[in-house]
Structure 1
Amino acid sequence: MARDVRLGAIAALLLNATVWGLSWWPLRALHAAGVDALWSTALSYALCAAAVVAARPQALAQLRRAPQLLGIALASGATNAAFNLGVTLGDVVRVVLLFYLMPVWAMLLARVLLGERAGRAGVWRLLLGLAGALCVLWPGGSTWPWPQGAGDWLGLIGGAAFALNNVLLRKHARQPAAARALAMFGGGPLVAGTLAVALTAAGVVAAPPAPGPWIGAVALFGAVLLGANLGLQYGAARLPANLTALVMNAEIVVAASSAIALGVSTPTARAAVGGSLIVFAVLLAARAGAGEADGGVDAPNAVGVDALRRGRR
C-alpha cells in the first residue's frame, strides 16, 4: 500500500474516532437546550437513514424482503440510544469504558447465537475485560463493584447491544449490504424515537422545544455523524482490521481527555487501570479477529459502515 494512501486511511479513522469521542459534547449541549438525547438521537439517525436511501434507493425494497433484519435494527437502535443517553446523563469516561466491553459480550453471544467456541485465548480476553470492568465499577468504600447510576447501566447496555448488532451482522451477512445499512441506521429513529415518544407521553422526558436553532444543530450533528462514518468506511476498507481497531481506540483517549479537561469527569486510578485492561482486551480481540472472513472486529459506534463498505467492494 502506498504510504500516502495508508496515512490518509489512518487520518480518516482518527477523524471518526475524534468525532465519536467528542459526541458527548453536542449531546449535552442539546440536552441543556431542552432537547433530550433520545430525541436528538432519533432525529439525527433519521437523517443518516435518509442519506442511505438517497445513495441506495433499492435498500427500502430489500429491507422489506428481509424481515429478519429487524433484529439488527433493534440492536443498533438500542446501541445508539443507550450510549448517547449514557454520555449525556453519566460520567463520560465510565460510560465509554463500560461500552468498550463489547468484545466480552460479543464472545458470549457468538457462542449462543452462532455456536462459536471461544477457545482458551478467548476466555483470557473475557477475564481481562471483566477484570477491567470490576476496576471501573468498584467505588471507594463499597464492597461490591456494581453500576453506580443510570450512566453506568446505559454504558453496559449499549456495549451489549452493539455486540449483539455485530453478531447479527455476521449471522445475516448474505443479506444485501444496503438493506443491512438501512436497518442499522434506521434503528436509531425506531428505538430512540419510540422511547422518546413513550417517555414524553409519560412525562419522564420533556418534549422538544418549539422550532428554533436547535433543529439546525441536530441536522448538523447528523451530518457530522454521517461524515464520520464515511471516514471509517474509507479507512477500514484500506487497512487491516487489527490496525483499524487499534486506531479507533483513540475514541477512548479523546472522550476521556476532553471530558476531564472540561470538568465533566473526574480521573481516578481505578478507572485508569480498568480502562487499560479493557483496551488491552479490545486489542487482543482485534488481533484474533484480523484474519476472519468478515473483516475482523467492527469499531464501536460505526453502526452501518461495515455493511456499506462491503457493498462497495
Structure 2
Amino acid sequence: MPALALVFNAFVWGVSWFPFRQIEAHGLHPVWTTALVYAVIALAMGWLRRHAWLAFVRWPGLALLGLAAGFTNVGFNWAVTQGDVVRVVLLFYLMPLWSVLLAWVFLGERPSRSALARMALALAGVAVVLKRPETDWPVPASLPDWLGVAAGFSFALTNILLRRLRAAPGESRALAMFGGCALVAGLTAAAGTTLGAIAAPPLQPSAAAGWAGWAALLGAGFVFANVCLQYGAARLAASATSVIMLSEVLFASVSSVAWGAATLDGRIWAGGALIVLAALWSSFARTNGGEDDRRSRILEDTPS
C-alpha cells in the first residue's frame, strides 16, 4: 500500500503540467495558480482542523517541512509550464542523488558502494539529457532547467523531513505543507510581479470562469496526492521512495508526448534509459534483501 500510494502521487504530478498550462492559457501564471490553490486548501484545513496548529510548538521542524514543500511546488509547477516537460521531469529526478545525500546527513543512512554506483549511473543519464550540441558542458542552461533541479532537491528534502517528522500528526504535516506552498508561492508571485518577471493575475470575471474549474481539479488532486505522499514516504526508506516516484517520468512522458508538450529524441531516450536502469537496479537490490534493504529495516526500527 505505501508503494501504491506513492505511485498515485507520481501520477498526479506527472500529469499536473496539463491543467497548469490550461490555466496559463487563460492568463493566470502558474506561480499565482500555485499560491491560489494552496491558499484555499491551507485556509480551509487550518479552520476545520484548528487543533493541528498545536503540533508546531512540539515539532518546530514542521515549519522547515512547509518551506521545502513550497519550494518544490513553485519550482516544479513553474518549470513544466515553461520548458519541455520530459526534460524538466528528468532533471527533477536528480532527486535520488539528493535523497541519498540528505538521508546520510539527517537520518544517518550511510550509502553503500552499490548505492553510490547507482547514483553515478543516474547522474550519467542526466548528463546525457542535458548535453546539447550548442552547449559545452551538461549543465542546466535555462530557467526551466534550474527550476527542475531546485525542485528535485526540495522534494528530496521534503521526503527526508517527512520521515524525520513521522511522529508528528499527519494532519499537522499536511497543514505545514499546504501552508508552506501558499506562503512560498505567494511571496514568489508577488515579488515576480513587482519585478516584472511574472504577469499579474487577470482581474476580469470572464478570465476566472475559464480557469476556475481547472484550479479546482488541481486542488483536489494535490490534496489526495499529499495524503498518499505522507502515507508512503513515512513508511518506506528514502531510497525506496525516490525510486518508486520515478514512475512520474513515465506518466509525464506519455502524457506530454501525446499532447505535444515534449519531444523524445535519441539523446532523451538514452539518458532516460540510464536513469530508469539505475532505478531498476535499486529496486532489484531491495527485492533480494540486499545491503540497502537490511540497513533500511534496521533504521526503521531505531527510534529517532
Range of TM-score over shorter length: 0.7 to 0.9
Assess, with a 3 A threshold, how the Cα gap between structure 1 residues 183 and 231 changes in structure 2: closer, same or farther.
Answer: closer
1:276 aligns with 2:273: yes
Give, as a single letter, the amino acid of the residue that structure 1 aligns with 2:222: L
State how 1:153-232 maps to structure 2 within 5 Å. 153-210=146-203, 211=205, 212-213=208-209, 214-230=211-227
Q: 1:16 to 1:162 in 2, by over 3 A?
A: closer
Find the counterpart in structure 1 of residue 52 from structure 2. 59
Q: 1:186 to 1:123 in 2, by over 3 A?
A: same
Query: Matched residues in 2 for 1:48 and 1:293: separation?
Result: 37
Partners in 2 of 1:274 and 1:145 — Cα distance?
12
> For residues 13 and 178 of structure 1, do their structure 2 counterparts lie closer, same or farther at Cα, with a shift above 3 Å needed?
closer
Correspondence for 1:111 among 100, 104, 119: 104
C-alpha deviation, 1:216, in angstroms: 3.9
Q: Is the 8 A contact 1:129 1:281 kept in 2?
A: yes
Q: Which residue of 1 aligns with 2:254?
A: 257
Q: CA deviation at 1:225?
A: 2.2
Q: In the aligned structure 1, how far is the partner of 2:140 from the partner of 2:200?
A: 28
Which structure has more helix as a fraction of its residues? Answer: 2
1:311 match: none
TM-score when normalising by structure 1: 0.79
Partner SS for 1:58: helix
Matches within 5 A, 1:75-114: 75-114=68-107
1:123 equivalenced with 2:116 (yes/no): yes
Q: Report percent identity of matched pairs.
A: 47
Q: Where does the alignment leave 5 or more consecutive residues of structure 2 unmatched?
A: 287-291
Distance 1:280 1:181 in 2: 33
Could you tell which deviates more after superposition, 276-285 or 126-135?
276-285
Structure-2 residue corresponding to 1:139: 132
Distance 1:168-1:232 versus aligned 2 partners, 3 A rule: closer
Deviation at 1:33, TM superposition (A): 1.3
Report the Cα offset of residue 69 of structure 1.
1.9
Task: Please report how far the alpha carbon of residue 184 of structure 1 lies from its aligned counterpart in structure 2 after TM superposition.
Answer: 1.6
Q: Which amino acid aligns with 1:222?
A: G
CA distance in 2, matches of 1:41, 1:281: 32
> Cα gap change, 1:218/1:81 in structure 2, threshold over 3 Å: closer, same or farther?
same
Residue by residue over 1:69-110, the C-alpha shift from the partner in whole angstroms, topping out at 9 and shown as x without a partner, is 221111110011101101011110011111112110111223
Native 8 Å contact 1:97 1:252 kept in 2: yes
**Match of residue 72, structure 1, among 53, 58, 65:** 65
Match of 1:300 in 2: none
TM score, norm. by length of structure 2: 0.81
User: Aligned-residue CA RMSD in angstroms?
Assistant: 3.0
CA contact (8 A) 1:100 1:282 kept: no
Q: Which amino acid aligns with 1:159?
A: G
